[in-house]
């Protein structure tokens, strides 16, 4: 019996040691999980702190740009131009264009003027929108300032450590709170600067807008002049070609029938090209007129947007009714569309016939050269 008792105790001792080891391992596993959660929380606080610092830096830069802008002297707005002054400016610009400028130079000038006009129109639209926003800003700005001041006060309160929270996590939360306080402070300063400089920025925008409109007024006649100059140059060259083909046709009076037919067809093609050039000039003039009407409509729409921002619904309704009355009817637009499609079909047919005639003439010339 004593021997059996000693053997049983010897078997039970390893089991107790094993249980104690398992208990200690479980404790280590729980401690590891808690440490991992705390590290993730600290990392989340650090990422939020970085985001708040970046936003605060962006607000600081915006504030510096705004202060630099309002410190720039506005200057005097440009004086309005009379028709005579505008004509003199256009005359001086025309004199700077060489009289013997080639077709390529004129086309390049036309492209540059069109691009400059498009940029001016975009700038005018942007300036007008900013001006309308400034007019409608004060009411909304005061409510924003109240909420921002409350946020600054809330973020100024220091962080208190929660029960069981580690010192590292508390410091991370405090750093986030400080970054958020800096962001709220910079945003409040920016909004206050915007409110206090509304009148100054309105004057700057007004001068900028008037300057852009005056430049647009000076550049617009140049497009029509260049179009006419290009059309005249092209017509002059085509008229010379028509005269040359007619002279060649007269010189073939005693030639063979194939040569006379070829000269007649060349003369007819030259006259047809001249007629198509005249039609192209007319279409360019129509395009310029449409672009002018489009610019007028865009300007009226910008004025309407400004009225909508200011809440003038009655004046907006009256303006919309005037615009509706001035618009062409659906039948008029449909008839214009049908006429344009008909002209396009005629041009395509003429192009096809010209191609067929060219191939036929090439064959006739080859046969005539072989016989000769």
DSSP 14-37: HHHHHHHHHHHHHHHHHHHHHHHH
Q: What is the pLDDT of residue 301?
A: 74
Residue 228 contacts residue 282 (beta carbons within 8 Å): no
3-state secondary structure (DSSP) of residue 326: helix
| Ordered alpha helix ranges (H), 197-326 | 198-251, 257-310, 313-326
Which among 312, 180, 273, 289 has a CA at the least distance from the CA of 224?
289
Cα–Cα distance measured from residue 262 to residue 369, given in angstroms and rounded to the nearest whole number: 13
Sign of CA dihedral 291, 129, 117, 319: positive
Cα–Cα distance measured from residue 200 to residue 222, given in angstroms and rounded to the nearest whole number: 34
DSSP string, 148-209: HHHHHHHHHSPP-PPTT--HHHHHHHHHHHHHHHHHHHHHHHHHHHHHHTHHHHHHHHHHHH
Q: What is the pLDDT of residue 252?
A: 76
Q: What is the pLDDT of residue 14?
A: 46
Which among 135, 149, 134 has a CA at the least distance from the CA of 192?
149
What angle (nearest 5°) sits at the alpha carbon of residue 28, between those of residues 27 and 31?
90
Residue 252 contacts residue 259 (beta carbons within 8 Å): yes
Q: What is the pLDDT of residue 47?
A: 93
Residue 279 contacts residue 351 (beta carbons within 8 Å): no
Ordered per-residue pLDDT tens for the chain, 372 residues: 444 444 444 444 444 444 444 444 444 445 556 678 888 888 998 999 999 999 999 999 998 988 887 787 767 778 888 888 888 999 999 999 988 888 889 889 989 998 999 899 889 888 887 877 776 655 445 557 788 888 888 888 888 888 888 888 888 889 999 999 999 999 888 888 888 777 788 888 888 888 888 898 899 889 888 888 888 887 877 788 788 888 877 877 777 777 777 878 888 887 888 788 788 778 877 877 787 787 777 777 766 666 666 555 555 566 667 767 777 777 888 888 888 888 888 888 887 887 777 777 766 666 666 665
Residue tagged 């300032």 (tokens): 145
């Amino acid at each position: 019996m004593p021997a059996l008792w000693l053997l049983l105790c010897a078997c039970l001792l390893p089991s107790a040691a094993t249980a104690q080891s398992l208990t200690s391992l479980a404790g280590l596993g729980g401690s590891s999980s808690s440490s991992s959660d705390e590290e993730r929380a600290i990392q989340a606080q650090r990422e939020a702190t970085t985001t708040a610092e970046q936003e605060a830096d962006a607000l600081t830069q915006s504030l510096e740009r705004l202060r630099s802008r309002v410190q720039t002297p506005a200057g005097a707005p440009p004086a309005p131009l009379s028709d005579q002054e505008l004509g003199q400016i256009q005359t001086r610009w025309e004199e700077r264009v060489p009289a013997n400028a080639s077709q390529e130079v004129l086309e390049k000038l036309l492209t540059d003027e069109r691009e400059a006009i498009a940029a001016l129109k975009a700038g005018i639209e942007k300036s007008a929108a900013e001006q309308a926003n400034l007019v409608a800003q004060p009411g909304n700005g005061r409510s924003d300032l109240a909420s921002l001041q409350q946020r600054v006060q809330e973020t100024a309160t220091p962080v208190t450590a929660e029960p069981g929270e580690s010192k590292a996590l508390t410091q991370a939360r405090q750093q986030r709170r400080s970054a958020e306080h800096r962001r709220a402070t910079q945003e409040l300063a920016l909004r206050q600067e915007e409110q206090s400089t509304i009148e100054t920025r309105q004057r700057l925008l007004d001068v900028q807008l008037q300057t852009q409109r005056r430049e647009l007024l000076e550049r617009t006649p140049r497009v029509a002049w260049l179009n006419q100059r290009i059309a005249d140059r092209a017509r002059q060259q085509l008229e010379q070609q028509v005269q040359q083909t007619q002279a060649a046709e007269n010189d073939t009076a005693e030639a063979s029938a194939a040569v006379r037919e070829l000269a007649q067809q060349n003369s007819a093609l030259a006259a047809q090209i001249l007629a198509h050039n005249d039609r192209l000039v007319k279409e360019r003039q129509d395009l310029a007129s449409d672009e002018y009407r489009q610019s007028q409509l865009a300007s009226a729409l910008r004025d309407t947007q400004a009225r909508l921002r200011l809440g003038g619904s009655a004046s907006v309704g009256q303006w919309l009714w005037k615009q509706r009355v001035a618009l062409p009817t659906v039948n008029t637009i449909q008839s214009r569309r049908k006429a344009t499609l008909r002209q396009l079909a005629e041009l395509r047919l003429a192009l096809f016939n010209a191609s067929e005639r060219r191939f036929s003439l090439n064959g006739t010339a080859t046969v005539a050269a072989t016989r000769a």
